[in-house]
Structure 1
Amino acid sequence: MKIFHGTVEIAGQMGILSDALQKKGHYSIGYNTYFSYLGYEDYLINTNFDYLSEKQEELIEYFDIFHFHYAKTLNPSFEDLPLIQKKNKKMLMHHWGNDVRFHDKAKVNNPYVNTWDSPPNDVIDQVLTKLSAHIKEAIVQDYEVYEYVKDYYDKVHVVPIAINLSQFTPRFPQVTKEKPLILHAPTNPYFKGTAFIENVIEELRKTHNFDYRRIEGMNHKEVIKLYEEADIIIDQVLCGSYGLLSVESMALGKPVVTYIRPDLISTFPEDLPIVNANPDNLYDQVKLLLDNPILRQQLGILGRDYVSRVHDHHIIADQLLAIYAQL
């Protein structure tokens, strides 16, 4: 099969999925119109909508499956969708969160969530209505995102975030380290709750000996090298689910602090080894890790095992191929 991924690269997923799909004998490539300082490069063609418009007919003719991401297609007005449909080519949409996070729905089960980065509700509704008129099935990474799109598509598949484990060598926290390093890497400080996190860090400095580093504006490959040095990684404490930073941190064998909404806990595997923290209990949860170096190491070991079973991109590629087959 020839698989088109596009047109927004979120958390390196188009490249990671294409890597695994190619290793399984299919041609898969991502066309990316969104550029960020993270600098994702693998299995990507960085382009723009003018080029995609110019090559639209060729692309529709060449590819068998169109796996779109982040509520974007070949055309900003979605004029490509009826053309793809007319050619009887397979399509599905992969939603990632902020593209579909209705502001009012997000707050129903989560008093902490910050949705400022999502479009207005009416815009999300219009986009989902246009997309689902032609695309009948969607993918989401978890049940936090599932709720926003389930009423628009005929079927919504839950497929975890993918990671290429071969690029992550675990470095478990050492129990003898006297001054542990806490890392936080917010791509979006308001969404991740950075202000709450750093307030807690300042409080803990009064009683504990540790280093803290906030990482921003760095290339993804450079950031991973810094993650390797960490003993505790705090991801996001507002959203109610975990993202790529949590997955990468677990792959590196680090204990991860992230907020998982109580109503969503049962939707993840029972052995999810994340330290669950929101702004109200963040101090206690981080203190627990600072006070217990053996726990830090144990969680790191459990995290690596969890990611290898749930998020390995070869496992995710098999899930995708099963979905493609029944479209």
Structure 2
Amino acid sequence: MKKQPRVYHGPFNIAGIPGILAKTEREAGYGSKAVCFPAGVYQRDVDQTITGFTADNAVAALIDYDVFNFHFGYSLWGDGLEDIPALRLAGKKVVMHFHGCDIRDSKVAQQKYAINPCQACWPMACNRNRAHAREVAQSLGRRVVVYTPDIHEFVPNATFLPQPVDLEALDAAKLRFEVHDRDPKVVRIVHAPSAVDLKGSVYLQQACAQLKARGVNVELRLMTQRTHEEVLEEVANADLVVDQLLAGAYGVFAVEAMALGVPTIGYIRDDLRSLYGDDLPVISATPQDIGNVILQTIERSDGWADIGARNRRYVEARHERRVVSRRLIELYE
């Protein structure tokens, strides 16, 4: 029987994705681990925590793993990526995973798109090694992954993989947190930005204030610097969720909300919509019309249950962790 490879995911556990992938690969017989830096309040499950880019860690990883999945533009040696050619010479397989600001060209984004996540981002949150990371990614051929289609243009040789989520864990969270005696007259809207400037949070805050001034009974729950458990508790009790309003593609927060059956709003760029499929259930809104979109969604509240069911089916078909993991494993071959 062929021995399954030992697989590394790291060094950053972006939105919990490396941890979810490592867990799922282990269930399929791979010797996979997520070996990542601590993430503070955003900490998610990993298999091993590291505290620095050290020679000892790099040598140990070289011995311990056959496949290296590098997330967010960093490798064992940091953002210089100097070790990737050596790993390949040693017969190791290397896959680079990009998540957003680690590869997005902020100048191109601002020049091409009237709505973009870079326009209000100062100081710039982009990785400083983006140009070099693109060069390295190009050398890897098909072993490059992007998790949102808005960044695909910056690494055109990449495979677009939907963000994986753990439906069993999300369902358990809903059972733990769902409250059934909330005030039905209040529409609770949950928004959990990791960075308010990048997500267009100010537009949502302004829209909710204007709706309240017009007598619409909305409550905005702005979840910043909160743990994953705290965010899930809010989402489990939300009427509506608003994801980002600038990038043009939805993030893991939206996927988790959809998995829990909550109507989800976010900005979907017109040129990216076809990449998500005809059954995309995210309700699109821009910074300019977010208030009207929320109001229209509230006025159609009798359809929320149907939207929630469509959301769940969409996530099961595209984002369920085993579905995504099988596609990633194909890149190891």
Provide TM-score, normalisation by structure 1.
Answer: 0.91
Paired residues of 2:164 and 2:324 also in contact (CA < 8 A):
yes
Distance 1:186 1:119, change over 3 A: closer
Matching residue's letter, 1:100: I
1:297 equivalent in structure 2: 305
Task: Name the CA distance, whole Å, in 2 between partners of 1:254 and 1:269.
Answer: 19
Preserved contact between residue 81 and residue 134 of structure 1 (Cα < 8 Å): no
Q: Deviations over 1:223-267 (max 9, x none)?
A: 211211100011111111000010000011100010000111111
5+ residue gaps, structure 2 = none
1:20 to 16, 19, 24: 24
CA distance in structure 2 between the aligned counterparts of 1:118 and 1:50, rounded to whole angstroms = 21
Work out which of the residue numbers 56, 77, 90 in structure 2 matches 1:87: 90
Counterpart in the other structure of 1:273: 281
Superposition map of 1:29-178 within 5 A = 29-40=33-44, 42-51=45-54, 53-76=55-78, 77-115=80-118, 116=121, 117-119=124-126, 123-130=129-136, 132-133=138-139, 137-150=143-156, 155-169=157-171, 177-178=184-185
After the TM superposition, which of the residue ranges 199-208 and 131-140 deviates more from structure 2?
131-140
Could you tell me how far apart the structure 2 residues matched to 1:226 and 1:184 are?
9
Q: CA deviation at 1:209?
A: 1.5
Match of 2:8 among 4, 12, 15: 4
Q: TM-score, normalised by structure 2?
A: 0.89
Q: 1: CA distance between counterparts of 2:108 and 2:318?
A: 27
CA contact (8 A) 1:82 1:134 kept: no
CA distance in 2, matches of 1:317, 1:119: 27
Length, aligned pairs only? 318
Write the distance in 1 (CA, Å) between the matches of 2:75 and 2:315: 30
Return the alpha-carbon distance in structure 1 between the equivalents of residues 316 and 228 of structure 2: 21
State percent identity of aligned pairs.
24
Q: 1:15 to 1:190 in 2, by over 3 A?
A: same
In 2, Cα distance between the equivalents of 1:141 and 1:274? 16
Aligned to 2:206: 199
User: Helix, strand or coil: the match of 2:77?
Assistant: coil
- The 1:132/1:44 distance shift into structure 2, 3 A limit, reads farther
Q: Using the TM superposition, give the Cα deviation of residue 132 of structure 1 relative to its aligned residue in structure 2, in angstroms.
A: 4.1
Letter in 2 for 1:11: A
String of CA shifts for 1:59-116, please: whole Å, max 9, x gaps. 1122110011111000023232232112111111001111111012223542121223
Go from structure 1 to structure 2 and tell me whether the alpha carbon gap of 1:302 and 1:5 turns closer, same or farther (over 3 Å shift): same
C-alpha RMSD of the superposition:
2.2
Q: 305, 309, 319: which is aligned to 2:317?
A: 309
1:307, 1:217 → 2: CA distance? 26
What residue number does 1:257 align with?
Answer: 265
Counterpart AA for 1:127: A
- SS at the partner of 2:262? coil
Q: Which amino acid aligns with 2:23?
A: D
User: Any idea what the Cα deviations from partners look like across 1:101-137, whole Å, max 9, x if unmatched?
Assistant: 10122235421212234437x8421332245446763
Name the SS of the counterpart of 2:314 in structure 1: helix
Instruction: Provide Cα deviations, 1:6-55, integer angstroms capped at 9, x if missing partner.
Output: 11110000101111111111111111125231121x2331113344x213
The alpha-carbon distance between structure 1 residues 130 and 310, as it changes in their structure 2 partners (threshold 3 A), is closer
Distance 1:219 1:119 in 2: 23
CA distance in 2 between partners of 1:283 and 1:219 (Å): 27
Which residue type is aligned with residue 46 of structure 1? T
